[in-house]
Structures are given as C-alpha cells and as structure tokens.
Amino acid sequence: MAQADSRALALGVLAGAAGISLAIVCFRKIGAGGGRVLHLSSNRDHTAGSLGLQTGQAEVLDRLGALIHCVSELKEEVKALKDALPHLQDNVRDQLRGRSRDDISARRASPLHRTPTRRKRAGVSDRSEEQSSEEAESEGGYITALTDSEEEESDDEQRPLQEPVDELTALLQKADRLHSCNGEEKAQGLNFLLERKAEFDQKCQYLWRLSRAYADAHDFAVDHAEKKSCAENGKKVGEEAISINPLCAEGHQWYAILCGLLSEYESIQNKIKNGYLFKDHLDKAIELKPEDPLSYYLLGRWCYAVSQCTWIERKVAATLFGEPPSATVQDALQNFLKVEEISPKYSKFNYVFLAKCYKDLGQRSQAQQMCDAASAMNIQTKEDEEAQKELDTIVASL
C-alpha cells in the first residue's frame, strides 16, 4: 500500500513537471509570435512615414517650380517694358492728340501695351489654393503690380476717345485766334467768317464775332467809304446777334462798339442817337458780364467824351431827345479804375485816360504816375501808337 502510493505520487510529480514544461513552451511560442506582430506593425509605420515624406517633398518641389515660373515671366515682362521706354513719349503724345481707336489698338501691339497675364500653372493641383502665408507674401508684390496693370489697361479701353470738335466750334476758335493777332492776320478774320455766313447766320456766337471782325476791318481800312461800310454792316450784324440771343453779353458789347464807330460818319442827330444806343447796350453787357474789363473801359471813354461836350452840343441833344446825356470826369475815372482793378496793366490807353482824368481833376502827381505807367508799356498795336501820341501831349502839359 505504501509502495503503490509512492508510485502514484511519483507519477503525479512527473505529470506536473510535464505540464509546466508544456506551458513554458507555449508561452515562448506566443511571445515569439507577438514579437513578430509588433515588428510588422513597426515596419508599416516606417513605410507610411517614408511615403508621407516623399509626398511633402513633391509638393514643395511643385511650389518651387511654380515660383521659378512666375519669376521667369516677370523677367520677360520687365525686359519688354524696358525695350518700350524709348517710345513712351511718342505714345503719350499720340494718345493726347486723340487718335482713333484703330490707331490705339495698333499701338497696343507694341511691347509697351502688352498686359502682363498669368497663365495657369501646369502640374499644380487644387491644393495650390491652400498655399502657406510665406508663399503668398513672396508673390504679393507681383500680384499687386499685375492687378494695377490690368486695371490701367481696362481704364484705357473704357475711356472714351476725345470727341472731335464740331465745325462751328473750330470756326469760332480760329476767329478768336485771328482777332488776337496783329497786322494782316487780324484783317483776314472778316473774310474768313464771311465764307461761312450761309451756314451759321442764325448762331449768336458766330454773329457777334462777325460784328467784331467788321470792327477790326474798320480799323485797318484806309478809305473813308470803306470804313463807313464796315461800321454799317457790323452794326447790322450785331443787331441780329442780340435779337437771336438778348442775354449774350458779347453781342451787346460789340453792337455798342459798332454804334460808336458809325457815329463818326453820321449827322449830329444820328450821332447823338448812336451815343444813347452805345450807353444802353454797354450797361446791358456789364449787367450780363460784370467782370469784363473791356466794357468798363468803353464806358469810361463814353463818360469822358460826354463830360467834354460843349454847351451847344448839350442843347442840341436836349432839343432832339428831350434830355442830354450826362456824365462827369469823376464817372469816367471810376470806370478806368475799375478796369485796372479787374485787369492790372490792361492797356496803354487806359493809363492815358487815367492820366487825363487826374489832370482834369487837378491831381497832377497821380496824373504823372499814370503817365509813367503808360510809358513803361511797349507799343504793340495800332491803338498803342495812338495812345503814345496822346501820352506825349499830356506829358508836355504837366
């Protein structure tokens, strides 16, 4: 019995040892397998990391390539602008002269008018829209310059061409230029305007200039009959101008001047009548255009002439028209001073009449100052020559 128990105990010990050995072997196998699993997982992570690195490098290379492409385009456009700079002055002059749209389009074919454009980058995916702030800053200057150029080009295309000047405006501008000339060119103004009378004889702006041209022609005419004819025709045209537009200051002004010129060739009765017309239309011209020095100068001349009328002339005027014209040297002086206020050094003759007024009023020192001012002005026109003759007389009497 004891021997049997010993055998059983020995067999149990052996079985227990075998079980423990088997457990150890299984554990080692499982551990080895787990190591292989961990090793495989580690390999996968390493492979994924390598692929991510390669993708990032490719994206950076794409962006660098796009940046190099932009710089290359910018260099080409800078070179084109540099080549076009020598022709910049000619292009600007042509545009200011208002050439036709076809001419402008032809000039835009030159390098100066080539608008910088950015072509779509090849090989850059939609992810380029998500560029980093650093890349946006690097291209910021180029984008701004590009936008400005495109806006300027767009403005050039939308800006209307300079509208051509109509025939009447061109005619009036040339008439004004001829009037401002001296000598024969000024005398040509009348024939120049008469050639277009049939076209514009219902335009006030044309008619008052034609009246002015008759006054210019009167001054250059030598024959007495020719002078009278110019004065008569000029007065008639001036009357037509103010009938078409009663609110035209220049129309009233030149009608008054022609009335004054015609009075030199009329009878006493018509001379006085024209004197009244002269004053009425000058007052109207000043009312419509109060800052025109010519109207005040003419009114000063009228006041001075009336102040010098004799008693007999005043009686004749009173007999014919009921009330003679009335004006004093002081009235004339105020008008001539107004001319100087509006336009200093307006004319040599204005200083001469200021000297006359001061002399008549007994203010000899002021008269001498006006004579000095008149002497300082050059003789440029026929009127200046006449003013110089009167100036010499005044200086001799002071």
Please write the tens of the pLDDT for every residue from 369-395.
Answer: 999 999 999 998 889 999 999 999 999
DSSP 46-75: HHHHHHHHHHHHHHHHHHHHHHHHHHHHHH
398 confidence band (pLDDT: 50, 70, 90): confident
Averaged pLDDT, 80-84: 71
Averaged pLDDT, 251-265: 94
Three-class secondary structure of residue 348 per DSSP:
helix
pLDDT at 299 over 50: yes
366 confidence band (pLDDT: 50, 70, 90): very high
Averaged pLDDT, 124-138: 43
- CB-based contact 359:323 (threshold 8 Å): no
Dihedral of CA atoms 38, 41, 46, 50 in degrees, nearest 10, equals 170
User: Comparing 90 with 30, which gets the higher pLDDT?
Assistant: 90
How many C-beta atoms lie closer than 10 Å to residue 111's C-beta?
Answer: 14
What structural domains and CATH numbers belong to the chain? Answer: 184-290 (1.25.40.10), 293-397 (1.25.40)
pLDDT at 6 over 70: no
Of the segments 80-94, 191-205, 316-330, which one has the largest average pLDDT value? Answer: 191-205
Percentage of the chain modeled with pLDDT above 70: 64
pLDDT, residue 127, reads 43
Averaged pLDDT, 235-241: 96
Residue 301's identity, in one-letter code, is: R
- Spatial distance between the Cα atoms of 211 and 231, rounded to a whole number of angstroms: 9
Nearest-10 crossing angle of helices 382-397, 364-375: 150
pLDDT, residue 49, reads 53
Averaged pLDDT, 195-217: 94
User: Comparing 186 with 369, which gets the higher pLDDT?
Assistant: 369
pLDDT at 162 over 70: no
pLDDT at 300 over 70: yes
pLDDT, residue 164, reads 59
- CB-based contact 298:274 (threshold 8 Å): no
**Exposure class string for 161-192: b at 16+ Cβ within 10 A, else e:** eeeeeeeeeebbeebeebeeeeeeebbbbbee
pLDDT at 318 over 80: no
39 confidence band (pLDDT: 50, 70, 90): very low
User: Comparing 356 with 317, which gets the higher pLDDT?
Assistant: 356
Mean pLDDT of the chain: 76
Closest by Cα among 115, 120, 118, 119 to 150: 115
pTM of the model: 0.58
pLDDT, residue 12, reads 52
pLDDT, residue 30, reads 46
User: Comparing 322 with 197, which gets the higher pLDDT?
Assistant: 197
- DSSP-H helix ranges across the chain: 2-84, 88-96, 101-107, 133-158, 167-180, 184-187, 189-194, 197-200, 204-220, 224-244, 249-262, 268-288, 293-307, 311-321, 329-342, 348-360, 364-375, 382-397
pLDDT, residue 132, reads 45
pLDDT at 230 over 80: yes
The set of long-range contacts for 229-237, using a CB threshold of 8 Å and a minimum separation of 24, is 230/190, 230/261, 231/258, 231/261, 231/262, 231/264, 231/265, 232/262, 234/210, 234/258, 234/261, 235/211, 235/259, 235/261, 235/262, 237/207, 237/210, 237/211
Q: pLDDT digits over 46-73, tens only?
A: 454 555 556 667 777 777 777 787 777 7
pLDDT, residue 73, reads 78
Averaged pLDDT, 106-129: 41
pLDDT, residue 266, reads 86
- Spatial distance between the Cα atoms of 142 and 115, rounded to a whole number of angstroms: 13
User: Comparing 147 with 383, which gets the higher pLDDT?
Assistant: 383
How many C-beta atoms lie closer than 10 Å to residue 80's C-beta?
Answer: 15
Averaged pLDDT, 344-365: 96
pLDDT, residue 316, reads 75
Averaged pLDDT, 141-164: 47
